[in-house]
Copies of this chain bind each other. A is one copy, B any other.
Amino acid sequence: MKTNLYWIFLFLFTFINCKQESKHKDYAIAIHGGAGAILRKEMSAEKEKEYMSALNNALDIGEKILKEGGTAMKAVEQVIIFLEDNPLFNAGKGAVFTNKGEHELDASIMDGQTAQAGAVGGVRVIKNPIRLARLVMEKSPHVFLIARGAETFGIVNGLDTVSNDWFDTEFRKKTWIKALEAEAKDSLGKLGMKYVNADSKFGTVGCVALDLKGHLAAGTSSGGMTNKRWGRIGDAPIIGAGTYAEDGVAAVSCTGHGEYFIRNVVAYDLIARMKYGTATLAQASHEIIHEKLKSLGGDGGLIAVDHAGNIELCFNSIGMYRGWAKAGKREVKIFK
């Protein structure tokens, strides 16, 4: 009888340990390069190849870190640095132009393990806003710093700076000039920014990751809206709106018409639907993007990974630059 109990105990012990390990033996990562109304007919084969290549390279960076046992935070930060430096996306180099022809950048990052977060809004001379967001999290007692104050904090702590026009690209300049011309033709447009069309909004970047230890992280970085003014801040630097991560639940990064994402606290709403309600990751994502936001007219999408490694890439716009990877599996797409 004693022998039997011994074997039963050994079996249960092994089984429980295996289950716990298997729960987190795999990493998972998802990225976005922005949701928007880019039309397939306007996308040349060459351009499409460039985007696909950039998204694949970003996933390579993240996967390498995660495979080697690096943290979800490191993967998220390094992937976003790569996307910020890539001029194809509306974050860092390649950010859209403000009404004054400048660039004002927003970013945030959150660590699901510690529930710590950092965010910056309206920064103009820090080369990689996501690095600054992480620095705010790690080296300041604050979560959210803005404008020159945020830049000073970054400079004091040794971050790379650039002149604001370093972020310029011809493509974004043309979009801005078009927006200015369209606005000038319309007497009511001055304050309404009605010519900031969907096309000029795409490009925000984001990354969510689950590491081998089962920890989650999320980050988002954006140049905001073309022709924006008055120090407009989107959802990218708002913890709860554009970014959220909570171990045991999920990590989320959003992209789209930021005002809708702020008012609907989208990233945390997904977490809450899973945590307090009965929704799965897939159900919560669908309800928010295809039901709630769609009914309100809020264009955009989100990427999310849950504690078990399930991934969702969900959008109600025509396309979303996106990709995901798990051990041995990968998908990169632009259109539906």
Report A239-267 CB contacts with B as 1/0, cut-off 8 Å.
11100100000000000001100111100
Contact B239 A265 (CB under 8 A): yes
Min Cβ gap A3→B in Å is 44
Please give the count of copies of this chain that the complex contains. Answer: 2
Contact A231 B148 (CB under 8 A): yes
Q: How many residues of A contact B (CB 8 A)?
A: 52
A191 within 8 A of B: yes
A152 and B229 CA atoms in complex are apart in Å by 10
Min Cβ gap A125→B in Å is 14
A275 and B238 CA atoms in complex are apart in Å by 22
Chain B, Cβ-Cβ closest to A148: B231
Asked if A141 meets B230 with Cβ closer than 8 Å, knowing A122-B147, A240-B265, A276-B276, the reply is no
A180 within 8 A of B: no
Min Cβ gap A106→B in Å is 10
Report A135-157 CB contacts with B as 1/0, cut-off 8 Å.
00001111111111110110010
Q: Which of B110, B144, B230, B273 makes the CB contact (< 8 A) with A152? A: B230
A35 within 8 A of B: no
A197 and B115 CA atoms in complex are apart in Å by 22
A84 and B237 CA atoms in complex are apart in Å by 27
Chain B, Cβ-Cβ closest to A259: B143
Residues 261-304 of A at the B interface (beta carbon under 8 Å): 262-265, 268-269, 272-273, 275-277, 279, 296
Contact B149 A229 (CB under 8 A): yes
A296 and B279 CA atoms in complex are apart in Å by 27
Q: Which residues of B contact A244 (CB under 8 A)?
A: 265
A214 within 8 A of B: no
Q: Which residues of B contact A264 (CB under 8 A)?
A: 115
Chain B, Cβ-Cβ closest to A196: B141
Q: Which residues of B contact A144 (CB under 8 A)?
A: 232-234, 238, 262
A231 and B151 CA atoms in complex are apart in Å by 9
Min Cβ gap A198→B in Å is 13
Contact A141 B265 (CB under 8 A): no
Residues 74-127 of A at the B interface (beta carbon under 8 Å): 110, 115-117, 121-122
Contact A240 B259 (CB under 8 A): no
Contact B193 A233 (CB under 8 A): no
Q: Which residues of B contact A273 (CB under 8 A)?
A: 272, 276
Sort A-B residue pairs by CB-CB distance and give the 4 closest, nearest first: A149-B231, A272-B272, A276-B277, A240-B265
Can you list 22 residue pairs at the A/B interface with Cβ under 8 Å? A110-B263, A117-B263, A122-B147, A141-B193, A141-B196, A143-B259, A143-B263, A144-B262, A146-B146, A147-B147, A147-B231, A149-B229, A149-B230, A149-B232, A152-B229, A239-B263, A239-B265, A240-B262, A244-B265, A268-B268, A268-B269, A272-B273
